């Protein structure tokens, strides 16, 4: 067969499959930020959403929800694609089974990017996961084609565009083949009469024993809510830092505290004690006061994120509870810390 004819037939077959496939992505909407309870499933043309109190589907909690989009992505050209997502809060993107973007954290509105190589006219499995916690929700999936070079260095010089519906495909539903008819078995006729042997005598079935109802599980009214250790450790901040000699938190500390706030909002029965500690360098009274102010600053930040003030206790201990004891004139940074106790 002529190569040009073979190529033409291949392209016709490919575009025939594209026409039979439905454009858009399968979207699964859940309440809860970890895909806890499915609310709705539908086809979304593209991923470009923003809402405050009116989510895109009925029954979805606008403040605490998650969405998973799946389908196939058509690559119009060969080369390295740059994907970008403008999102508030968490985002994960896989293209062809490769994780391109991974930022599963609380964010005030961030832009996250990643790259992957694709070949022209091929389709790649696509999965996008998103969650929102606290106030507004926003997610937009963009890309920059290999042929669209940046106009000038930096984010604003990039040629990012929303991925349009014609590049998203849903495979047509495959109907199972009809069951094959059972083969006919021909029985040869016998000249003599076939006598079936008499069935063996059956013994009477034993009477089933009456099952005793299982006793109800014992309840302990004094039992307290137990939280799995791994869950507590996952959301306990490890790096809460302040300006030197002050109770002003550094911006780098906010992300861990945002994750903690989301955890506390999902677990309203848990209470928290925030402890401030300093080293022994300096005036003991001022150190005690500083440790108290830092603990209160952390508590105030969590209250701003929606945690009830009565669930949080803040207390300063100055240098009275060092992690490392030694020469009082030496500098022990590890003793300057904020500790979190859950109960």
Q: What mean pLDDT is reported for the chain?
A: 80
pLDDT at 219 over 60: no
Q: Taking Cα atoms as reference points, which of 244, 327, 254, 334 lies closest to residue 290?
A: 244
Across residues 76-102, what is the average pLDDT?
94
Q: What angle do CA 135, 141, 143 make, to 5 degrees?
A: 150
SS3 for 310? helix
Query: Would you place residue 228 in the very low, low, confident or very high pLDDT band (cuts 50, 70, 90)?
Result: very low
pLDDT at 175 over 70: no
Domains parsed from the chain with CATH numbers: 11-170 (2.60.120.1560), 229-342 (3.30.1330.60)
Q: Which two tokens stand for residue 262?
A: 């989301």
Which of 35-49, 194-208, 227-241 ranks highest by mean pLDDT? 35-49
pLDDT at 341 over 70: yes
Query: Would you place residue 229 in the very low, low, confident or very high pLDDT band (cuts 50, 70, 90)?
Result: very low
Q: What's residue 178's pLDDT?
A: 62
Q: What's residue 244's pLDDT?
A: 81
Contact 23, 15 (CB under 8 A): no
Q: Rounded to whole angstroms, how far apart are CA atoms 102 and 124?
A: 18
Half-sphere exposure of 107 (CA within 13 A, CB side): 19
Residues 296-318 as b or e (16 or more Cβ within 10 Å = b): bbbbebbeebebeeeebebebbb
Across residues 117-121, what is the average pLDDT?
96
Q: What's residue 168's pLDDT?
A: 95
């Amino acid at each position: 067969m002529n190569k040009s004819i073979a190529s033409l037939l291949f392209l016709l077959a490919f575009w025939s499959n594209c026409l039979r496939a439905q454009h858009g992505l399968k979207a699964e909407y859940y309440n809860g930020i970890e895909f806890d309870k499915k609310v709705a499933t539908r086809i979304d043309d593209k991923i470009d959403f923003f809402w405050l109190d009116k989510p895109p589907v009925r029954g979805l909690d606008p403040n605490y929800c998650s969405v998973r989009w799946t389908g196939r992505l058509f690559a119009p050209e060969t080369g390295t694609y740059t994907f970008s997502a403008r999102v508030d809060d968490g985002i994960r993107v896989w293209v062809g089974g490769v994780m391109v973007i991974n930022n599963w954290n609380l964010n005030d509105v961030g832009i996250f990017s990643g790259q992957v190589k694709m070949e022209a006219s091929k389709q790649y499995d696509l999965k996008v996961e998103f969650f929102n916690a606290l106030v507004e929700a926003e997610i937009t999936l963009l890309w920059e084609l290999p042929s669209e070079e940046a106009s000038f260095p930096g984010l604003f010089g990039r040629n990012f565009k929303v991925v349009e519906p014609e590049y998203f495909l849903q495979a047509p539903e495959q109907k199972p083949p009809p069951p094959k008819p059972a083969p006919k078995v021909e029985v040869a006729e016998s000249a003599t009469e076939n006598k079936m042997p008499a069935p063996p005598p059956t013994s009477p079935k034993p009477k089933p024993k009456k099952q005793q109802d299982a006793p109800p599980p014992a309840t302990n009214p004094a039992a307290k809510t137990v939280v799995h250790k791994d869950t507590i450790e996952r959301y306990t901040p490890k790096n809460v830092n302040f300006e030197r000699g002050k109770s002003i938190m550094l911006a780098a500390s906010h992300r861990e505290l945002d994750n903690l706030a989301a955890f506390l909002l999902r677990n309203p029965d848990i209470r928290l004690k925030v402890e401030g500690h300093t080293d022994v360098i300096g005036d003991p009274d001022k150190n005690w006061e500083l440790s108290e102010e830092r603990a209160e600053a952390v508590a105030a930040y969590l209250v701003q994120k929606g945690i009830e003030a009565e669930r949080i206790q803040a207390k300063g201990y100055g240098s009275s509870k060092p992690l490392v004891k030694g020469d009082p004139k030496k500098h022990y940074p590890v003793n300057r810390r904020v500790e979190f106790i859950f109960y």
